[in-house]
Amino acid sequence: MAVEKQIPSGGESVLRFEDVTFHYTENKPILQEANFVIRKGSKLTLMGQNGSGKSTLFSLITGERKIDEGRIVIGPDLHIAIAKQFIPHTQWDMAVREFLELPFKEKIYDIDKRAKKIFSAVELSVSLDFPIKQLSGGQKGRLLIAQALIQDPDILLLDEPTNNLDKAGIKLLTEFMQEYTGTVIVISHDEAFLNSFTHGVIYINPQNYQVEQYVGNYYKVVADIKDRIEREQRANAQLEKEIQGNKDKVNFFAHKGGKMRKLAAKLKDEVEELEDSKVEVRKEDRTIKPFTIKCQEEIGSVIVKFEKVEVLHDGKPVKRNVEIELRKGDKLHIIGPNGIGKTTLLEKIAKRIEKGVEVAEGITIGYYRQDFSTLDFNKSAYQELAHVLKKLDDHLLRSTAASMLLGGEQLASKIGLLSEGQKGLLMFAYLRLLQPGLLILDEPTNHINFRHIPVIAEALRKYEGPMIVVSHVHEFVKDIGITQTLDLGKL
């Protein structure tokens, strides 16, 4: 029922779950008598379907949430630090120094000295007096990692650490992870990043709420899990064939008399035993269905016209001249280093307040923010999707959500209680119902399961309206069919 400190057996085990049970709510189990062991120096990936409880498991390890039953055993005098997915809006008014001090129970008098060393490691160049709300998405991402590292942890937990990092930031983090000698568990959808350092995988099975452990690099483990799923499916198919054959015999013999009727009863028992032998196919194998985002009708010729944009150089805003026009089918990729102002530019365009960028009158803008703050976290997912529709169509709403793996339980939940991956899928359901005349997408692959990304890329490639996108995922950008690129770093 509690987190306990204990001397690890042989000095190897630093973290152990013993028959841990946890329910997020009464009807939402996450773990059921789960057991696993983390060894000193291990570099592991935590895998699981969107909403399976990966971030929740981290919160159990840190003690932020309390387990229902069982024990979490942590080695003696070991410190755990976590770099979460994002900095909550409630902390955006803090100065950088104040944010770095948050995890410490006592006053740290050499925080500036520690910060200088850690900032050098993560290549973050900001003043400790700088307000967080003025940092770029990439700078916030580096600050989250810095906050964890400044604690000098024995066990490091990283929750989607590559989100919001540019190419240089991901390269830096990859090199850090390869050289890091401590124990680390990482949640990420960046396959190449994970495969560069991982020793194995911890997998949350959404069918039985158990935790499975696999040894090997990331690609090998993913292949092993895929092979296991295929074996289960083949075994189920064979069982189904045998079950159907016995059912046919039962139906035939049941209408006969004497011994034939007894044989039918025996075969019926065998059918029930075979049904019990079937293995439920993992939800992890499910991928969102191919979909389309319809474009607003009659949007005209030139939808967006760029004449000037504001960028940040050494933290100071400057205006730069550009000449870009976006028409139907145009897809503009905005690139540049972290801190140059990409997210700010997208937000101002979406709000139609960027002087020098004009969006045509009457155009409905579909804006995918990387922090999902365009959604009302206090509303249910159903309420938010219903708000998009001019006339409520329950069947359309539910079928659209279901194709994005959002069922009745998720639709009834407050958006703030959904996982980040589920919020991402909800945003795409929202855009489908909205049918915008302009798509503005800020890092739309962040938090999204890698299985879904090719499906999303194909939908965006087929979108007939203009699109403005910021993304650091090269393969995704290539697949959506970019027609123009604006490099803010060269302005």
Residue 52 within a domain: yes
Listed residues 162, 190, 221: the one ending a domain: 221
Q: Name, in order, each residue with C-beta under 8 angstroms of 153's C-beta and a sequence gap of 6 or more.
A: 79, 80, 81, 182
Task: Name which of 194, 192, 193, 211 is nearest 202 in CA terms.
Answer: 211
Instruction: Reduce the DSSP state of residue 323 to 3 states and report it.
Output: strand
pLDDT of residue 49: 78
- 205 with 335, same domain: the answer is no
* Angle between helix 259-277 and 218-253 (nearest 10): 170
Of 206, 221, 236, the residue that ends a domain is 221
pLDDT band at 308 (very low <50, low <70, confident <90, very high): very high
Residue 9 has pLDDT above 50, yes or no: no
Same structural domain for residues 54 and 176? yes
Same domain for 204 and 332? no
Identify whether 281 is part of a domain: no
Predicted confidence (pLDDT) at residue 11 exceeds the cutoff of 50? no
Single out the residue of 125, 138, 189, 133 nearest to residue 336, CA to CA.
Answer: 138
**pLDDT tens for each residue of 457-484:** 999 999 999 999 999 888 899 999 999 9
Tell me, yes or no, whether 190 and 319 share the same domain: no
Whether residues 212 and 354 fall in one domain: no
Torsion sign, CA atoms 62, 178, 371, 320 = positive
Query: What does the CA dihedral 302, 306, 307, 308 come to, rounded to 10 degrees?
Result: 160
Q: Is 421 inside a domain boundary? A: yes
Residues 65 and 194 in one domain: yes
Residue 192 pLDDT greater than 90, yes or no? no
337 C-beta neighbours (distance < 10 Å), count: 16
Sheet with 210-215, strands from edge to edge, namely: 80-83, 155-159, 183-187, 43-47, 200-205, 210-215
Query: Whose CA is closest to 144, among 86, 201, 184, 199?
Result: 86
Q: What is the pTM of this model?
A: 0.71
- 355 domain-assigned: yes
CB-based contact 335:282 (threshold 8 Å): no
Residue 71, C-beta contacts closer than 8 angstroms, at least 6 positions apart: 1, 2, 3, 4, 16, 17, 18, 19, 20
Q: Which of 177, 201, 221 is the last residue of a domain?
A: 221
Domain that holds residue 6: 2-78+154-221
CA pair distance 478, 270, nearest whole angstrom = 53
User: Is 318 found in the same domain as 214?
Assistant: no
Q: What's the CATH number where 60 sits?
A: 3.40.50.300
State mean pLDDT over 36-57: 88
8 A C-beta contact, residue 129 and residue 54: no
Higher per-residue pLDDT: 217 or 242: 217
Do residue 332 and residue 209 come from a single domain? no
Residue 141 forms part of a structural domain: no
202 in the same domain as 54: yes
Shared domain for 324 and 452, answered yes or no, is: yes
216: in domain: yes
pLDDT for 272 equals 66
Measured between alpha carbons, how far is 469 from 443 in angstroms, rounded to an integer?
Answer: 7
Whether residues 329 and 199 fall in one domain: no
Q: Give the chain's largest Cα–Cα span.
A: 94
Percentage of residues in the chain with pLDDT exceeding 70? 90
Do 439 and 343 share a structural domain? yes
For residue 200, give the 3-state DSSP assignment: strand
Per-residue pLDDT at 96: 95
Q: Is there a domain that residue 159 lies in?
A: yes
What is the rounded average pLDDT of the residues 88-108? 91
Number of separate domains in the chain? 2
Q: CA–CA separation, 478 vs 94, rounded Å?
A: 38
* Residue 88 maps to a domain: no
Both tokens assigned to 31: 């773990």
